[in-house]
Structure 1
Amino acid sequence: MPLNYMPLHSSKLTPIFMVLSLRTIAIIIQIILLLFVHFALHYHLPWFELMVVIFCEIVFTFISYWYFRKKQHVTKQALSWQVIADIVFLSALLSFSGGATNAFVSLLLIPIAISAVTLSAPRLFFVAFLAIASYSVQLWLMPMSVMHGNMEGHFIAMWINFLFSALVVALVVGRMAINNRVKDKAIAQYREEQLKQEKIISLGVASAQVTHQLATPISTACMIVDELKEDNPSSELINDLQTELQRCTDSLNTFRQMVFDIKEQNTYLISATKISSDIKDYIALNHPELLLTTLECDEGDDKKVQANSSLLPAIINIVNNAIRATQANYSQHIEIKTHHDDSNLYLEIRDFGKGFSQEKLAQLGVQPIVSEQGFGMAVLLSHSSFERLGGELILTNHGEKGAIATVSLPLVLP
């Protein structure tokens, strides 16, 4: 969910309804105070003008509630306009009830406090500027008859006090709110990472169990094939079956070695040319029908990255996904490009499939998802392998056709 949107329907009071609720309470208090001052204290206030302002405030609040109750998301801009409306209504009420001499003029600090908690820094300071400007204009428009004796200095001191209070609220409360938002975001990211690691561990445990269960039947099958080959040494079918079983055995041994290296944190240096060469060998051996286009780093400027046993299988997983996407779109062409900058090596694998939807782009590599080809587990595991090596996997759609998987790995500087 983008950061500039807020969910409206939740178990907690959302900022927009917090503003509307506070304004509703304020309207009730305004009406009670107006009636008390008029009938109990017998102050002669512009009753009609004040009631018009309160009526406009009630209508605006009702329309806002009716409009936002059907909204799933509320923008920060919409919340900003609500806070600005509070300043306008409060300024209008103050202007008809004494202006800067009104004891409730300090209520202009409330919109600043709300903005400090809910809005970004630029919008916060704009609201603070409006509140200070409202106070300043009302002080400027005060009649000279009020400024007798030492009252002029008193009102100026009140304005300075309000200015200082507004700045303190905007800076201190705003800074605390920003720190809390950053902390909440970090906690949310940590929880997401923990959930992701739990899924990866579960997949690893399942893979280890499957590997252990397959080892015995594969060994038994190899023994049976060896016995069949003794009886029929010239059978091509038995030779092909023996070759495939040997590939299964090699894959199991590679998996065991990979688990051991990851456990012992064994690493080694590998060059960009070696990575590209291994990919080409894999494609030539397993997919000779493919048309592979490669653009590699110059051999004289070959860079090295830190690797472990999981790096090449992780890259092969991405290559296999690209091959499946390409063949599903009735194509036999993929492109692989390696290049680097001062700090990273980049491996771009482009397929000529149908590309990804925006929903899948947001989920691939973060959690398993259901698709026609599987559950996206290969991408999830590959993404985790790259992260352990300090790299990352970025999936994007190509502007013309297909998708691009970009693997970035930090270079080992000489």
Structure 2
Amino acid sequence: MAQNAARRNLAQLNRMRWIAVAGQLLAIWGTVALLDVTTLPWGQMLPVVGFLIFLNLFSAWRLRRGHPITDLTVTAELLMDVASLTILLYLSGGASNPFVSLFILQVILAIVLLPQGHAALILLATIAAHFWLTGNGVPLPLPHLWHGAGPSFLDLHLQGMFLSFLLAASLLTWFVTRITANLRDRDAQIQALRQQMLEEDHLVRLGLLSSGAAHELGTPLTTLAVTLDDWQTLGAPQGDELDDKIAVMQRELSRCRQIVSEMLLSSGQERLDEAQAMRARAFLEAAIEGMALPVRISFDMRCDPVIMADPMLEQAVRQLVDNAAEAGSRNIRISLSPGGPEQLALVIEDDGPGFPDAILADPGQPFQSDKDGAGRGLGLFLTGNVMRRLNGEMRLANLRHGAQVTLLLPTLEAAA
């Protein structure tokens, strides 16, 4: 992002330099041809203008070839512009040249295009150059003043000041107009990115809820499938046993409806509206509550700071625990400990087969699960997105016997 801004700034500077070069050539020609100042050392001034032309061509070549451009690059070229203007002014009267006010244009460019420190460097360079020119400069005698004819030196100086103002004001107007247009385009892009992030946030929420619902629906649907398979193979039971089986099936169907209803309800809730401050232990217990898993879950609460309890985070924790159970774990250990300054480490460890190497190498890619780690791929991808949106971090590791997932969460107080 910073390099793209530097590239745009250098391109703007190049456009203005072409205008400045044209103005310098016109000024040299007008002084010699119109004012008949044959003493103007134009032979020494043209190489300076030629250097600026070469600098612009070189910058354009770098931009086209995609070479790295930084703020330091723009600063260096602006310093060359200051040095070139100083030489031209030295050869044409020094500080008495009315075009000495063009230094202020370079200061304004630096303020707009560069960081504060770099702009201050350009300011100091222009101040030093202007101060040096007050005592140095090649005198520029005007022929008509020798004979007492034509306009006075003051008249010519005032005319030069007017031309200098006209040039500086025109360049600034053009430059600021371009910058304003760029700012409007940037604001539009930021707004589009903000809208895209909101949409992606909602999609991640729906994905996490859907993935969690799929895991939770697995148990009741498995119960129904087993019961129906038994009936198909052995025949339907009779009497009270049939009534009991039907009651179990109705409970499982009710649970399925409840899971789907909760997912639809949660999908319509805004994340920030639902987030609330609560103790990490209470949040964790609420997240695990109601999970019917064939594993033993143990807790190790070394701290209990206040965190922002987000429904997406709760669903992510349930997803990780469910993933561990599906991967064949028999024991799951959940711990809370300080993860750093104003940070909580929520660690989930299991004794399953561990993560495949592909997931450890790039946990940000979805659908990387295999038979030994069923269900891990999409759940980890969604959990990673949730952590990024909460300004947290997810870390994966394999233990000697099992896997470890560490969620680093920001806290509202020190995790002591």
Q: TM-score range by the shorter chain?
A: 0.5 to 0.7
Segments of structure 2 that go 5 or more residues without pairing to the other structure are 142-153, 238-246, 370-374
Aligned to 2:409: 407
Hey, what's the Cα distance between the residues in 1 that align with 2:291 and 2:235? 35
- Residue 337 of structure 2, aligned match among 336, 339, 352: 339
1:89-128 C-alpha deviation (Å, 9 max, x unpaired): 1111111111111111121122222222221111112112
1:195 has 2:199 as partner: yes
Aligned to 1:394: 393
Q: Is the 8 A contact 2:78 2:106 kept in 1?
A: yes
Aligned to 2:3: 5
Moved more, 372-381 or 90-99: 372-381
Aligned to 1:378: 379
Per-residue deviation, 1:49: 1.5
The percentage of counterpart residues that share the same residue type is 18
Counterpart residue identity of residue 33, structure 2: F
Secondary structure of 1:26 counterpart: helix
Secondary structure of 2:59 counterpart: helix
Moved more, 67-76 or 349-358: 349-358
Aligned to 2:150: none
Counterpart residue identity of residue 337, structure 2: H
Asked which structure has the greater CA Rg, the reply is 2
Aligned residue runs from structure 1 range 216-295, under 5 A? 221=225, 224=228, 227=231, 231=235, 250=255, 253-257=258-262, 259-260=264-265, 272-273=280-281, 285=293
Hey, what's the Cα distance between the residues in 2 that align with 1:258 and 1:411? 31
Q: Is the 8 A contact 2:323 2:376 kept in 1?
A: no
What value does the CA root-mean-square deviation take over the aligned residues? Answer: 5.8
Distance 1:135 1:321, change over 3 A: farther
- Residue 134 of structure 2, aligned match among 124, 130, 139: 139
Aligned to 1:239: none
1:44-85 C-alpha deviation (Å, 9 max, x unpaired): 111221122122222222222222320165212112212221
Q: Is the 8 A contact 1:258 1:310 kept in 2?
A: no
Q: Is the 8 A contact 2:91 2:137 kept in 1?
A: no
Q: Is the 8 A contact 1:218 1:248 kept in 2?
A: no
1:80 has 2:75 as partner: yes
Hey, what's the Cα distance between the residues in 2 that align with 1:397 and 1:204? 18
| TM-score between the two structures when normalised by the length of structure 2 | 0.61
Hey, what's the Cα distance between the residues in 1 that align with 2:319 and 2:284? 14
Distance 1:355 1:225, change over 3 A: closer
Aligned residue runs from structure 1 range 84-163, under 5 A? 84-141=79-136
Distance 1:225 1:396, change over 3 A: closer
Distance 1:186 1:257, change over 3 A: same
Q: How many residues align?
A: 356
Q: Is the 8 A contact 1:5 1:75 kept in 2?
A: yes
Q: Is the 8 A contact 2:396 2:406 kept in 1?
A: yes
Q: Is the 8 A contact 2:206 2:267 kept in 1?
A: no
1:28 has 2:29 as partner: no
Hey, what's the Cα distance between the residues in 1 that align with 2:214 and 2:287? 26
Hey, what's the Cα distance between the residues in 1 that align with 2:222 and 2:405? 37
Segments of structure 1 that go 5 or more residues without pairing to the other structure are 234-241
Hey, what's the Cα distance between the residues in 2 that align with 1:371 and 1:206? 15
Per-residue deviation, 1:303: 4.3
Per-residue deviation, 1:137: 1.4
Counterpart residue identity of residue 51, structure 2: C
Aligned to 1:297: 302
Aligned to 1:316: 318
Hey, what's the Cα distance between the residues in 2 that align with 1:332 and 1:85? 71
Per-residue deviation, 1:141: 2.8
Q: Is the 8 A contact 1:115 1:127 kept in 2?
A: yes
Per-residue deviation, 1:352: 6.5
Counterpart residue identity of residue 368, structure 2: E
Aligned to 1:69: 64
Q: Is the 8 A contact 2:295 2:330 kept in 1?
A: no
Aligned to 1:48: 43
Distance 1:272 1:39, change over 3 A: closer
1:352-377 C-alpha deviation (Å, 9 max, x unpaired): 6648799x68xx4xxxx555349975
| TM-score between the two structures when normalised by the length of structure 1 | 0.61
Hey, what's the Cα distance between the residues in 2 that align with 1:293 and 1:206? 27
Aligned residue runs from structure 1 range 176-195, under 5 A? 187=191, 190-195=194-199
